[in-house]
Structures are given as C-alpha cells and as structure tokens.
Structure 1
Amino acid sequence: MLSHTDTTAQDDLVTAETCAAALGITKDTGREYWFTDQYGVTYRGLASHVTLAALAHSDFTQDAFPQLNGRPLQRTARWVITLFTSRHTDPQHAARFAALSPWQVCELVAYLWRHRDDAAMHKIGPATLHLYTGHLLDHDGDPSALPDVVDRSPQPSLAQENCNLFARLQVTATARDGADDVPVPMLVEVTEKVSWRVKTAIPLAVEDLARLLVGSGFSVSEYLDRNAHLIEGFLRYELADSEGQDVNAWRLTTRREHALSSPPPEPVQVRLYFVGPDRATALETVPFSTRALAACAVVEGDEVFETTVEVNHDQVRTTR
C-alpha cells in the first residue's frame, strides 16, 4: 500500500515551497512559466507541463534536491509524466492536471514524493490514479488516509510510454539564437582490446637458440621484449584482431566534476549568481546556477549579484 513517510529533517527539504523556489516559481506565477537549462535550451509551453519538465530535468534540480532517503525527486516527476500523459488516463483527470498552476504542480509532486512507496507506486496505473491525486487536483486538501487500491492489471503500454517522456509533454525546447545543436560537455571512456598473431622468421644467435630449446628460465617472449624492433613492423593497427570498441559516455553535471579534454566548437556563455553584502565579497564565494537558488541563501544585508562568464577551451572570461 501507499504509506505516509514519517517526516524527517530530509523530508522537510522537499516541499512545495522548496520545489518552487528552486524553479523560480511563486504562488503568483501564471500561465507563462518557462525556464532555461544550463546548456542555454529554453523550455516553453503549457505551464503545468513545463513545470513538470523542470522538476524531472536531471541536471536542473539535482543540486537543489539530491537523492534523499533513496527517493530522487526527478523519479517522482517522471512518474507523474508517465501517468498524466498516458492515453489510458481519464481525460478529465488529465485535463484537471493540465490546468494546474506551476505552484500547484510543485505541491502535487512534493506531496507524492513525501508519500511514495516505490514498490506500491509501480502498481498504480491510469485506472486508480485519480484516487491518489484527485484531492489535490480538485483542491479539496490532503486526505487523512491514502487509499490502498492498485490497478488489477496495469496497462502494459505504460512501460513503453516511459521511453520518450518529453514527447508526451506539451513543451517545446529551443536553443539560444535558434541553433540546431547545443555543445554538451561529455565524459567519454572508450576501451578496446587489440591483439596480433604473426608467423615470421626471427633472427636468433645460435647460442640463444640452444638456450631456448634446451635451457630453462629464458623464453621467446623475454627475448622479443628485449628486441622489440624485430616485430614492430607487424604490429600495425590494420593487421590487428580487434574485439570492437566499448563506449561509455554520460553528460557532465552542473558541479563540473570533470575537466574537458577538448573545447566545445564555440565559446559557451554561462550565467552565475553570487550572494554577499557587496559584489567584490560575493564573487569570492561559491556561485549558484540560478537566481532562485541564490535567493535562498540570502541573509540580512546580502544581495544577489549576476555575472556572465564565457567558457573557452583555454580560459574562463567574465563578460558582464
């Protein structure tokens, strides 16, 4: 069953207020909500769907919401996308979700995160979704007890709908200046096993031949290690027997855990936010990726200062 998770200090980090603050949302945010990610791609469209895309965006919210109690906030947002955009979901229920304000979407996702039980959530499908979320979409408040009902036979198509969640959202993504491509830092590891099998005549001194055939403690491998020039001509890549390349790659995080080994094709402009009593002092502190996150760190006497840096292959230069 879906059981209420006991409130802990970590649970307090994921509330409608904290979700909204991370996305620059207030209770007054209207139907024109949009956001731009760290790669300069801007997401616009139906406000409720744009908000859900922001909460599910792995790089956009990971710093604000780490994996608390083994329950990533992004996973909850993706679960909401899966069910509320399913063709099997009651159209009226899906329409009520689509009509939510950005703040109300944050309330819904935070509520489900705080109450979720991963094992039970996978058993809830379009037929029973309204029992768990109807009270929030109809604005009737938080029920005292959650239902213990799951779909008798979950729709098999739900698994396939997970493959391309973005395509199911009424959201468009556009790059800066209308570009078709966006430079995205990647850490790429490529491994390959290459071997050669060569049959050739190797000049050996008579004394060494006798030692190889009769003696001990002396091998052909040892001899060739000492005389690598005898076979170097055979060790060309085109003569190799390769098992193929194994490529592993993943996108870098906003924490810049890895340095780039080669520059992007064009300089990338990154907007950073600093907090402090004055600009000089603020620039000595750790930056924030969004103004909303910086605002959360403001104390009395502090201001938020914005700086744009241009990232080149050999330097980072402040442009504003």
Structure 2
Amino acid sequence: MINSMRWRYIALCEAKILRNPITLRAGIVKPGLTEDELWRAKYIYDSAFHPDTGEKMFVIGRMSAQVPMNMSITGCMLTFYRTTPAVVFWQWVNQSFNAVVNYTNRSGDAPITVNQLGAAYVSATTGAVVTALGLKSLATRLPPIISRFVPFAAVAAANCINIPFMRQRELKYGIPVTDENGNRLGESPNAARQAIVQVVVSRIGMAMPAMAIPPVIMNALEKRAFMKRFPILNAPVQVGLVGLCLVFATPLCCALFPQKSSMSVSGLEEDLQERIRKTSPHITTVYFNKGL
C-alpha cells in the first residue's frame, strides 16, 4: 500500500513537471522530492522534450517508440516482400515513420517551413521506395534466401537518403555548436555533416540485427511441418523475432556516438574558426547535439 502511494506521488510530480517543463529548467520543484525522484522526472523530461528547441516531441517520433513501431513495420516488411505492391506499401510506411523520427530528433533549433518539410518528405520517401524496387528487381535472379535480405538493403540505402533529406536545412545553414559549458559559439554545416553521418551509421546498425537475423531463422522455420500447417503464424513470429533483436540493438546503436557529440575547432568552417579564436582563443573543441 505504501509503495503504491509512493509511486503514485512520484508519477504526479513527474506529470506536473512535464506539463510545465520550465519549472525543471529553473530548478523549481515541489518540496519533498528526493534526489532519485528528481532524476527520474528529469529522465522522462529528456525523453519527451527536444534538447535544442525545448518543444514536446511527437509521441511516435521519440526514441521510446522505436521498438514497438519498428518491430511492427519491419516484421511486415520481412513477411510481405514477395509482391511489388507490398514492397511499395511497406517501404512507404517505413520511410514515412522514419521521416517523422528524423524530423522529431533533428539537431538545432532553426524553424522549418511546411513547404520545406513537405519537399523533404516527398524526396526522402520517393528515393527510398525507388531504391527498394530497384533492389527487388535485381534479387529476382538470386537465390530465395538472398531475396529475404532485400528489405534490409533497401532500408540501409534509404537511411542514406531519408536522413540527409529530412535534415537538409542543417546541411545548408549548420547546427549550433557550443563550448563545454553550453555557451553558443555559432552554427556549423561541417558539424551537421558529422552529426548526420553518425546518425546514419547508428540507424543502419540498429536495423542490421532486426533485418538480418530473423530472415535466417524464418527460412529454417518455414521448412518445418508446424509452420507449413499454420502459415498464419509467419507474421507474428517474424514480428516477435524483430522485436527481440530491437530490444538490444536500439539502445546499443543509440550509444555508438554520444548525444552531445564533439569535434575539433580546426574541423569547422574558416570564418567560424576565426570568430572562435578571436572571442575564445582557449577553446580547442566544440560540442553539438547530433540528433538521434
């Protein structure tokens, strides 16, 4: 009973902080909160609000939604890969979801217009679907087991298209770079390029176990009499295997590169280097939010 009341109290405190995030930033919290309870509230706040803009993030775009969303979409991509309409539909669904995630977890605080967002979405999803169809046509001449890996190859290639397109404003105008204390020093397209490369590598690594291991297992299972007798189990088993892989792959690949990434001042644009050396000659390393 006491534990139940305690957790209800913590949940209430967290809800109040999330409804009014300024209180957490300003250090204004309800009296009586312990350090552990405050840290728990901070973790929830960090997972729900963008680190640069401070805006509350769209629910399915948050990293906490990656496993349930991706296991459903990826499981269906791996199950329904044989026909062109199925490939087009599930690649479109996957890249639409990725576009939401890429926008939600972008770096920087520069506003993006609806037209820019729409153009980026159409370019990203079209490029991804065309890539998937091209790889599918090539796979028709390969052994069946190889065909099962077409969705992964398509997703890997599509990530190289989708993420830069959805974050193209960062590549053009740069992302904020700061000193170790968080003081803003300027905007850097070079930092944006490094951030986007790191995110692309993380996303491909995240997809690899979930899209490479289940096809091998399913290829063996489908030869068993049980699966032949109940083919309806194909999709649920595949989704379950993908989910199991993602539970481990998602946090591991998010941790490949730190959220607050860094680079040498010498790697920045010349004009920004000069500005930093004039105002803060002691700084040799700058930091930036790479996005997720």
- Of Structure 1 and Structure 2, which has the larger fraction of its residues in helix? 2
Larger radius of gyration: 1
Q: Which TM-score applies when normalising by structure 2?
A: 0.22
Q: Quick check: which one's strand share is greater? A: 1
